[in-house]
Amino acid sequence: PAHLRDAASTFRYVRVNLLVTSVDAIVKAFQDDRYRLVDLSQAEGRSMHQVLAVKSRVFARDPHLADLLVFPPGTDLHAHPLFANGSVVLQDKASCMPAHVVQPAPGSAALDACAAPGNKTSHMASLMKNRGRIFAFDMDQRRLETLVELTGNAKCKIITAQCMNFLDVDPLDPSYADVEYALLDPSCSGSGIVNRQDALVDSYISIVNPTGTGGDESRSTEARARNLAEFQTSIVLHAMRFPGVKRISYSTCSVHAEENEGVVARVLQSQTEFGLAGADQVIPTWHRRGLETAGLTKEQAACVVRTMPEDGTNGFFVAGFVRQQPADIANT
């Protein structure tokens, strides 16, 4: 469908690094640089696509994420001094959702299981105001070096980066006893990334309208998604073994239900200590929720979030898990 393809000209998002500055200060800095602030809540029925469609120096506060600004498609801020000095991070909107789902409290301890290149790690540090501790793991040494550089540029001071397979990290190691928050963003098929637009649209269509017949290619894609789903499920279940963890976000940049709703359903079936975080804790004002598929009920699907290019962002999925109170477990 053309409307899905056309919408792929994604907006440019600017995440304000709260370790360096504030949203108000950055809004003013862009205004001083002759960018015009528009108020999307006063757009009188016009969509963000209409208001920010013009290729001019306009921008808006993102209506869903408080530390995000949105610019028209095609805006290039890579050479902007605010980017160069670490005041802002250029990060797609969907990829800014997981840290807001984890909501790590300043002063607490958090872990990022598959952290490199570190955009979400640096986002957690920003929300934690550089107070507390973040354990960041990745099994790829080179990507982890990028994380150290990127989070250093962003002035993060509370990150301990370790090159490890997260599945080999001992949850009962006393160093992790205080860890309350876990951000899980494991490798996925990447089918939601907009520059793989055709693959994305085709897979999304086959999910919403599964009557089409697939050839060999779609069968091998399915097998790959199944293997990935097993790995992704094991990452979530491993994070749940850390005794102090009470809130978890699980995300992918995939549109395949198997890697998304399917993983959530398997996790819920495999253990009883964690339940799904309610819709009120998972980007509550966001309209596009999960699909009632791959083992999720309608109510469960409403608790998780999907994004698509027609929302002005990459294809993405986020779910939250929370440790249940003993009374909740007795009732399941």
Q: Is 62 within any annotated ligand binding site?
A: no
**Distance (Å, rounded) from C-alpha 57 to C-alpha 68?**
17
C-beta of 219: minimal distance to ligand SAM in Å? 24
- Any binding-site annotation on 114? yes
Of the candidates 96, 188, 253, 303, the residue annotated as catalytic is 253
Choosing from 25, 37, 84, 167, the residue that interacts with ligand SAM (CB under 6 A) is: 167
Written as six digits, the tokens of 188 are 């996925």
Is 253 known to be catalytic?
yes
Smallest distance, ligand SAM to C-beta of residue 187, A: 4
Q: Closest CB to ligand SAM among 76 and 168?
A: 168
- Contact yes or no for 170/100 (Cβ under 8 A): no
54 binds ligand SAM (CB under 6 A): no
Does residue number 143 form part of the binding site for ligand SAM (CB under 6 A)?
Answer: yes
Least distance from C-beta 24 to ligand SAM, angstroms?
26
Find out whether 138 is annotated in a ligand binding site: yes
H-type helices in 79-215, by residue range? Answer: 81-84, 97-102, 119-127, 141-153, 197-208
140 versus 292: smaller Cβ distance to ligand SAM = 140
* Helical H segments across 7-110, by residue range: 23-32, 48-51, 81-84, 97-102
Cβ at position 306, least distance to ligand SAM in Å: 17
Contact region for ligand SAM (CB under 6 A) — 16-24, 133-141, 172-180, 222-230? 133-141
Residue nearest to ligand SAM (CB): 114
Alpha-carbon radius of gyration of the chain: 20
Nearest CA among 241, 126, 136, 149 for reference residue 185 = 136
Q: Is 328 annotated as a binding residue?
A: no
Residue 311 binding ligand SAM, by CB under 6 A: no
The C-alpha torsion from 130 through 133 and 139 to 142, rounded to 10°, is: 30
Query: Is 116 one of the annotated binding-site residues?
Result: yes
Among 61, 46, 164, which Cα is nearest to 116's?
A: 164
- Structure token digits, residue 280: 């009120």
Binding interface with ligand SAM (CB under 6 A): 95, 114-120, 137-140, 143, 165-167, 185-187
Catalytic residues: 253
